[in-house]
Amino acid sequence: MFLKVSLLLGFIVLGTHVWTIQKEFVDISKNQDYFVVSMEFAMAVFNDNNVEENAYRLLEVRRAKQKITDRLEYFIDVEIARSNCRKLSNNSENCFIQENSKMEKRVTCSFLVGALPWNGDFTVMKKQCADF
């Protein structure tokens, strides 16, 4: 009897876990807390890995999607542009986008970010960018 109850309880727990997993991405608010943090993380990784001296800033979030697996997964489509600030500058409030100059550069990027935000764990799983 104990074995049957244990098995039944195990199936209920497993079934509940499987039921909560989303198989497809769904549109979400661009203001959702965990999405915003994931987007900021993706931008920081982009700037860290970019060989240019200037940092890029966010112009527009074009698409925000979420899928729940063993973590939160965010599909992020953005338009970004080169700013006048160096990457190591801590004063991002005074950074502006390079416009109408030879330094102007706009890029569209799609990021797939895996997040366990309650653990502070973020990973850029995929990144694809192209000049705009």
Helix (H/G/I), strand (E/B), else coil: 80: strand
CA separation (Å) from 86 to 10, 13, 83? 54, 51, 8
For residue 87, the model assigns a pLDDT of 87
For residue 90, the model assigns a pLDDT of 66
Q: Across the 132 residues of the chain, what is the mean pLDDT of every consecutive 10-residue run?
A: 50 48 91 96 97 95 97 98 86 80 94 97 98 88
Helix (H/G/I), strand (E/B), else coil: 21: coil
State phi, psi for 10 to the nearest 5 degrees: -60, -45
- In sign, the C-alpha dihedral spanning 84, 88, 92, 94 is negative
Q: Which of 31, 89, 29 has the alpha carbon at shortest distance from 56?
A: 89
pTM of this prediction exceeds 0.95: no
Q: Which tokens sit at 125?
A: 């799983």
- Residue ranges of domains in the chain: 23-131
Is residue 62 a contact partner of residue 75, using CB atoms and an 8 Å limit?
no
Helix (H/G/I), strand (E/B), else coil: 128: strand
Tell me which CATH code domain 23-131 carries.
Answer: 3.10.450.10
Q: Which tokens sit at 56?
A: 């890029």
Is residue 85 a contact partner of residue 91, using CB atoms and an 8 Å limit?
yes
Lateral strand order in the sheet of 72-86: 26-27, 54-68, 72-86, 106-116, 121-131
